[in-house]
């Protein structure tokens, strides 16, 4: 039947799927203790990718400060508006490409070499 692996772990029926995902994430929050606080912003982590299009809007996010749009990695203030917006946009971008297949190994993980 061609499905035997002669005792070796193997992978069959590999498939990839791609989809267009959101290019921008707009976010907004309201801080009742400081009603005049500017807590609106937008982020684009796509780095000019042509397979992104459109916008996602997130309201009532759980942050109290906007943060700095240009901060990266360790300099990015945790639990700020830009912190949450980057997490949301990375989640969209991670759904852009998916791989699936069938394996004879129950312990096979992404990136593992057989």
Does residue 101 contact residue 11 with C-beta atoms inside 8 Å? yes
pLDDT in tens, 83-97: 999 999 999 999 999
Q: What mean pLDDT comes out for the span 58-71?
A: 87
Task: Give pLDDT tens digits for 22-58.
Answer: 999 999 999 888 888 889 999 999 888 888 999 999 9
Residue 99, pLDDT above cutoff 70 = yes
Per-domain boundaries in the chain = 17-102
Burial of 4 (0-12, 13-18, 19+ CB in 10 A): exposed
């Amino acid at each position: 039947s061609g499905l035997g692996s002669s005792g070796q772990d193997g992978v069959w029926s590999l498939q990839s799927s791609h989809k267009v995902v959101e290019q921008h994430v707009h976010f907004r929050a309201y801080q009742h203790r400081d009603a005049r606080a500017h807590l609106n912003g937008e982020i684009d982590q796509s780095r000019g990718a042509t397979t992104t299009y459109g916008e996602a809007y997130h309201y009532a996010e759980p942050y109290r400060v906007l943060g700095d749009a240009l901060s990266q990695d360790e300099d990015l203030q945790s639990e700020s508006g830009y912190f949450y917006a980057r997490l949301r946009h990375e989640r969209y971008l991670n759904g852009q490409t998916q791989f699936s297949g069938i394996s004879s190994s129950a312990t096979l993980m992404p990136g593992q070499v057989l």
